């Protein structure tokens, strides 16, 4: 008899809609929906997706305890042997929802729980101890790679096999060695002194710290630039900046522009309700206020260009690359300081 699996997805992968439907309340449907078809195929004859839970990302984020409790009750009647959520790739709210549901199901139903996420998804750090999470690419382009890996891990857990191919969970386990800890420590230290390779027994986290720069002392002679991850761009998004997981940024000339009107500017961002930004892009990129400061002599001038990208789901590696290139351009243009806005 095949193992029974319940699958969790958000409103987008269920084909219900995007951000405008992110408040979609939880429901459960018998059988497969969306990526569940590929998941069911990858599970083969050993397991079957018997039901699919659908919930909007915003609804779950705003009603986490209630949503989780309601979904648990929906799941129970299908008597699942395992719960699979996602894959969420680098979508933060989706990843958090997948992780939270895996955590709740594991604790209350005591069955294997599996998800798939990009390593930088906040859901990984929050829930890696609660669930087995397969590493995925940062966008749905990697669906064909992610789903089989999740299915394989799920079957390993269901069959009682040693699980492989998941993101390190950070769970400590006792292990016995022939040498005492002091001896092993000295061995590593000596190897380091000799320039030889060694591997620490306790990996330390890597924190990316940015030292703050000193305050601008002379604002009256300062050239200030505006940079945003809020997706503001000329109407029509001429550079085709992606609404999520951006692979590029835009450089736009605002010489003589006093106000970002709805006639000429909009947002390309897909991670928030764009209504107010499209009505007045100055709400995200305050060109109008900066022009007032320019007129009043508070600053020397507003830089003739602004830079924009979309932060929604964008990989940290790409964000660093964008930042370095934008910074080089600003320095070359003699900019004194930058105001960085988000959403």
Residue ranges for the chain with pLDDT beneath 70: 205-207
Distance CA 201, CA 173 (A): 12
CA distances to 28, 209, 225 from 215, in Å: 54, 18, 15
If one counts every other C-beta atom within 10 angstroms of the C-beta of residue 32, the result is: 20
State residue 182's pLDDT score: 92
Instruction: Work out the burial of residue 332: count CB atoms within 10 Å of its CB; fewer than 13 is exposed, 13-18 middle, 19 or more buried.
Output: exposed
State residue 61's pLDDT score: 87
φ and ψ at residue 128, rounded to 5 degrees: -65, -25
Domain boundaries, the chain: 3-158, 219-341
Chain mean position to CA 307: 22
Please tell me whether residue 3 adopts helix, strand or coil conformation: strand
State residue 138's pLDDT score: 84
Residues 287-325 have pLDDT tens digits of 999 999 999 999 999 999 999 999 887 777 788 889 999
CB 259 within 8 A of CB 336: no
In the structure encoding, which two tokens stand for residue 279, read together? 């009505």
Alpha helix (H) residue ranges in the chain: 36-43, 57-62, 64-76, 92-109, 122-127, 143-158, 181-194, 275-279, 287-296, 316-332
CA distances to 26, 57, 115, 334 from 60, in Å: 8, 5, 17, 46
Residues 123-151 have pLDDT tens digits of 898 899 999 999 999 888 899 999 999 99
CATH superfamily of 3-158: Cobalamin-binding domain (3.40.50.280)
State residue 206's pLDDT score: 67
State residue 111's pLDDT score: 96
Query: pTM of this prediction?
Result: 0.63
Distance CA 46, CA 33 (A): 19
State residue 317's pLDDT score: 75
CB 120 within 8 A of CB 137: no
State residue 207's pLDDT score: 65
State the greatest distance between any 2 C-alpha atoms of the chain, in Å, as a whole number.
Answer: 78
Please tell me whether residue 53 adopts helix, strand or coil conformation: strand
Report the chain's terminal Cα–Cα distance, integer Å. Answer: 50
């Amino acid at each position: 008899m095949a193992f029974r699996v319940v699958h969790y997805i958000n409103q987008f992968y269920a084909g219900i809609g995007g951000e405008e439907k992110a408040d979609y309340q939880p429901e459960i449907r018998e059988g497969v929906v969306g990526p569940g078809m590929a998941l069911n195929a990858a599970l083969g004859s050993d397991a079957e997706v018997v039901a699919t839970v659908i919930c909007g990302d915003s609804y779950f984020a705003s009603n986490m305890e209630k949503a989780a409790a309601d979904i648990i009750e929906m799941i129970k009647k299908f008597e699942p042997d395992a719960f699979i959520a996602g894959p969420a790739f680098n979508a933060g709210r989706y990843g958090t929802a997948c992780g939270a549901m895996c955590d709740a199901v594991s604790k209350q139903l005591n069955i294997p729980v599996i998800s798939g996420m990009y390593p930088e998804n906040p859901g990984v750090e929050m829930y890696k101890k609660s669930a087995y999470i397969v590493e995925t690419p940062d966008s749905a382009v990697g669906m064909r790679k992610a789903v089989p890996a999740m299915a394989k891990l799920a079957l390993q857990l269901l069959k009682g096999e040693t699980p492989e191919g998941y993101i390190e969970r950070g769970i400590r386990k006792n292990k016995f060695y022939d040498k005492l800890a002091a001896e092993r420590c000295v061995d590593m230290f000596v190897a380091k002194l000799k320039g030889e390779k060694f591997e620490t027994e306790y990996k330390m986290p890597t924190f990316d710290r940015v030292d703050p720069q000193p305050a601008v002392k002379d604002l009256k002679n300062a050239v200030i630039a505006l940079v945003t991850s809020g997706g503001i761009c000329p109407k029509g998004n001429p550079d085709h900046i992606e609404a999520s997981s951006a692979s590029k940024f835009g450089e736009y000339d605002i010489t003589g522009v006093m106000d970002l009107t709805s006639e000429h500017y909009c947002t390309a961002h897909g991670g928030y309700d764009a209504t107010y930004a499209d009505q007045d892009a100055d709400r995200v990129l305050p060109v109008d206020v900066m022009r007032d400061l320019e007129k009043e002599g508070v600053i020397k001038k507003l830089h003739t260009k602004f830079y924009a990208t979309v932060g929604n789901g964008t990989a940290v590696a790409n964000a660093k690359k964008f930042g370095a290139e934008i910074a080089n351009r600003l320095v070359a243009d003699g900019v004194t300081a930058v105001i960085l806005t988000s959403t």
